[in-house]
């Protein structure tokens, strides 16, 4: 007879974190397409690039004031936690976690930092034809050349990181029967994927959407300020 506790779900991700994650996916794909198409598409590439930068700054702020599972204090775990997690992942164990597991947390940090490098180099990039990033006017020719080259090349590292990230999510689904993908859409995980049966659930605190909107407004203001530096 199926035990209800098996199907009980627990809320683990807040709405702002989920909206951040999937908006980022859509914008990054749009960035790659418009960057490759170049020409007139670069105008859209810039606007969407500013949106990516605002999202990243929002996520950094939310990492300090957001809900428990979105906080860097919950995301960044030590090497021992990482090893324990890999042992559970590669062994017969069942890794249980409300938020990001130790290795997943490092990947999230690495993705956010790598995207900041892509955006940062883009602000100084030029297509050497008609389109200059907003900060080209305030930088030396040598710096602009370097940043344009970095912008071209760094994206390849992002391709590898995203591929590893997606592979990990699929591995969880297929090998550990844990649907982390559905969880980052619905915000809920199965109770047994969060805590041992019968063990208490971790106390999770969820912050409101108004605070998230305030963080997003601050992030947008910072992006506006950065772009204005270039005049």
Which residues contact ligand HEM (rule: CB under 6 A)? 17, 20-21, 24-25, 28-29, 31-32, 35-36, 38, 42, 45-46, 49-50, 52-53, 59, 70, 100-101, 104, 108, 111-112, 115, 118-119, 122-123, 125-127, 131, 133, 148, 151-152, 155, 158, 162, 165-166, 169, 180-181, 184
Instruction: Indicate the residue among 181 and 214 with the shorter CB distance to ligand HEM.
Output: 181
CB neighbours of 102 closer than 8 A, spacing ≥ 6? 77, 78, 81, 82, 84, 85
As measured in angstroms, the least distance from the Cβ of 112 to ligand HEM is 6
How would DSSP label each residue in 110-148?
HHHHHHHHHHHHHHT-B-SSS-B-TTGGGS-HHHHHHHH
Instruction: Indicate the residue among 195 and 198 with the shorter CB distance to ligand HEM.
Output: 195
Instruction: Indicate the residue among 139 and 180 with the shorter CB distance to ligand HEM.
Output: 180
Question: How many angstroms separate the CA atoms of 69 and 206, rounded?
Answer: 9
Instruction: Indicate the residue among 131 and 218 with the shorter CB distance to ligand HEM.
Output: 131
Rounded CA Rg of the chain:
20
> ∠ CA 173-86-203 to the nearest 5 degrees?
75
As measured in angstroms, the least distance from the Cβ of 2 to ligand HEM is 25
């Amino acid at each position: 007879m199926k035990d209800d506790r098996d199907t009980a779900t627990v809320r683990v991700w807040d709405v702002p974190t989920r909206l951040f994650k999937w908006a980022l996916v859509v914008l990054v794909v749009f960035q790659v397409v418009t960057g490759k198409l170049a020409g007139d598409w670069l105008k859209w590439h810039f606007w969407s690039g500013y949106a990516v930068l605002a999202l990243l700054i929002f996520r950094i702020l939310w990492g300090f004031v957001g809900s428990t599972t979105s906080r860097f204090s919950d995301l960044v775990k030590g090497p021992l936690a990482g090893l324990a997690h890999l042992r559970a992942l590669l062994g017969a164990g069942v890794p249980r976690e409300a938020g990001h597991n130790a290795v997943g947390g490092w990947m999230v940090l690495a993705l956010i930092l790598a995207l900041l490098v892509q955006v940062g180099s883009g602000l100084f990039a030029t297509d050497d034809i008609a389109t200059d990033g907003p900060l080209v006017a305030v930088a030396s020719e040598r710096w602009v050349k370097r940043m344009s080259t970095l912008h071209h090349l760094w994206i390849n590292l992002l391709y590898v990181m995203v591929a590893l990230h997606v592979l990990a999510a699929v591995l969880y689904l297929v090998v550990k029967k844990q649907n982390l993908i559905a969880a980052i859409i619905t915000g809920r995980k199965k109770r047994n994927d969060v805590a041992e049966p019968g063990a208490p659930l971790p106390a999770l605190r969820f912050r409101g959407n108004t605070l998230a909107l305030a963080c997003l407004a601050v992030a947008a203001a910072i992006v506006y300020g950065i772009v204005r530096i270039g005049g």
